[in-house]
Copies of this chain bind each other. A is one copy, B any other.
Amino acid sequence: MNKFLKEAISDFLFEYETPRQVLVKNKRVGIVCRLIQLAVLAYIIGWVFIYERGYQSTDTAISSVFTKMKGITYTNESGLRIWDVVDYVFPQHGGDSFVVMTNYIMTSGQHLGRCLELPGLATCVSDDDCVEGKHKRKMTGKCINSSCEVFAWCPIEDDRTIPSPPLLLEAENFTLFIKNSITFPEFKVVRSNLEKNVDLGNCLYHKTSDPLCPIFRLGDIIEMSNFKFIDVAKSGAAIGILIDWTCNLDLPVDECKPKYYFHGLYGHGDKSNSSLGYNFRHAKYYVEDKIEKRTITKVFGIRFDIIVQGLARQFDIIPTLTTIGSGVGIFGVATVVCDMVLLYILPKRDFYKNMKFKYTAEQGEDKGLTQSKSENENN
């Protein structure tokens, strides 16, 4: 038994099986098949390996963003007023999503009390028209001068007309500084958008002449998003700033650089203007003469969402071999196609069929004959 096992192992180790093949010397078949094989090879090498980089594995980035606005402007609506960064940026701590105020409706000194609804919003003839449940504000039930009285933060904010031209039109010249740090955890690569050879003190982003400077003029961003600043500033808009890190880490890591793209958000898809309109209300609370008051500001502004998209590729033996493996599989398909041409289309197909196949007849039918035929050949 032991001896038998030894023999089987030595048989297995010292022998090698390779398929027997027919070499068909036929110009037509040869050229057709070589062309098919060439096409498959070109596809695997050209497309999968070179174009799609099938020899690389990929990793997406985890990222962190810090932003800082710069710029001061003035309004002269009701007395000269200065607006610096803390006044016009919401929220103030420099995250990846923030709003730069460009227009506003400010209602100062609101306190809880009774006052008349805005003209036209709740007209009445008698107190009976001012019953609760009918209106978005709490009615007191009194009709005064054809307008219902409400219990609310008074005076009521009048946002029926948006200031035009926008009050902070100068925001066009504000600058935005973006610090972005990304990590490709699988490849243990950390990159930052602060390039060593970019002078952060003086540079300004420009699509072609300074594409690596992380300081952006607001007017430029709006223009690159295909909006007009005056439209955007009046009623607000939402703008996405896409930082795209597509890195081939087989090249030196310094080649891994960010690209910046700008586009409007929340559009209906058909009309570029549909992204326009962004506002929210902001309140500052204070106490005056023991009474809690608030200044409510309806803020129209540009909301910036900084979206980081990182994709790194690096040579990896696994996808390389998987690609080769499945490429060999597709070569098998090419062989099947060529065989079909050979066996079903060519005029001499019966001859090739004979060359390629050896037949064993159905067991019961002509067992003796087959047996002898085969044994004869292998004698």
Q: CB within 8 Å of B: which residues of A? A: 12-27, 29-31, 33-34, 43, 47-48, 52, 54, 62-64, 66, 68, 72, 74, 79-82, 84-87, 90-99, 112, 136-138, 151-153, 179-181, 183, 185, 190-192, 194, 196, 238, 240, 242, 244, 263, 265-270, 278, 280-288, 290, 292-296, 303, 305, 307, 309, 317-318, 321-333, 335, 338-339, 342, 348, 351-352, 354-363, 371, 373-379
CA distance A267 to B358 in the complex (A): 68
**Inter-subunit contact A362/B14 (CB<8 Å):** yes
Interface SS of chain A: mixed
Copies in the complex: 3
**Inter-subunit contact B329/A266 (CB<8 Å):** no
**Inter-subunit contact B21/A357 (CB<8 Å):** yes
Which of B29, B85, B327, B338 has a CB less than 8 Å from the CB of A329?
B327
- 21 residue pairs of the A-B complex, CB under 8 angstroms, read A14-B362, A15-B26, A17-B357, A18-B24, A18-B342, A20-B20, A20-B357, A21-B357, A48-B321, A54-B318, A72-B138, A82-B152, A84-B153, A90-B91, A93-B282, A181-B265, A183-B242, A192-B267, A321-B330, A324-B329, A355-B360
10 smallest beta-carbon distances between A and B, as pairs: A325-B326, A325-B329, A328-B329, A14-B30, A86-B283, A325-B330, A64-B305, A284-B285, A328-B332, A16-B33
CA distance A278 to B66 in the complex (A): 9
**Inter-subunit contact A112/B68 (CB<8 Å):** no
Measured CB to CB, the nearest residue on chain B to A153 is: B82
**Inter-subunit contact B356/A266 (CB<8 Å):** no
Which of B18, B179, B358 has a CB less than 8 Å from the CB of A378?
B358
**Inter-subunit contact A82/B360 (CB<8 Å):** no
A24 with B20, Cβ < 8 A, contacts A80-B151, A329-B325 known: no
**Inter-subunit contact B43/A321 (CB<8 Å):** yes
**Inter-subunit contact B92/A92 (CB<8 Å):** no
**Inter-subunit contact A80/B112 (CB<8 Å):** yes
State the Cβ distance, A69 to closest chain B Cβ, in Å.
Answer: 10
CA distance A96 to B62 in the complex (A): 14
A283 with B92, Cβ < 8 A, contacts A25-B14, A363-B348 known: yes
